[in-house]
Amino acid sequence: MKHPKSYDSTPETRKRMSKVKLKGGKAETLLAKELWHKGYRYRKNDKRLPGSPDIAILKHRIAVFVDGEFWHGKDWETRKERLQRNREYWIEKIEENMTRDQRNDQLLSQAGWIPIHFWEKDVIKNTAECIAEIEETILTRLIEGTEDTTLQEFEEI
- Structural domain including 49 reads 23-69+102-154
Per-chain mean pLDDT for the chain: 85
Whichever domain contains 49, its CATH number is 3.40.960.10
pLDDT at 149: 46
Tens digits of residue pLDDT in 63-113: 999 999 989 999 898 888 888 888 889 989 999 999 999 999 999 999 999
86, part of any domain: no
- Report the domain count for the chain: 1
pLDDT at 3: 47
42, part of any domain: yes
89, part of any domain: no
131, part of any domain: yes
> Contacts by 139-144 with C-beta closer than 8 Å and gap 24+?
141/60, 141/61, 141/62, 141/114, 142/60
40, part of any domain: yes
DSSP 3: P
pLDDT at 1: 45
55, part of any domain: yes
138, part of any domain: yes
Q: Comparing 19 with 90, which gets the higher pLDDT?
A: 90
The pLDDT of 116-133, averaged and rounded, is 97
Tens digits of residue pLDDT in 29-40: 999 999 999 999
Q: State the burial class of residue 49 (Cβ atoms within 10 Å of its Cβ: 0-12, 13-18, 19+).
A: buried
Determine the Cα–Cα distance for residues 22 and 33; give it in Å rounded to an integer: 18
pLDDT at 122: 96
Determine the Cα–Cα distance for residues 77 and 110; give it in Å rounded to an integer: 29
76, part of any domain: no
pLDDT at 21: 54
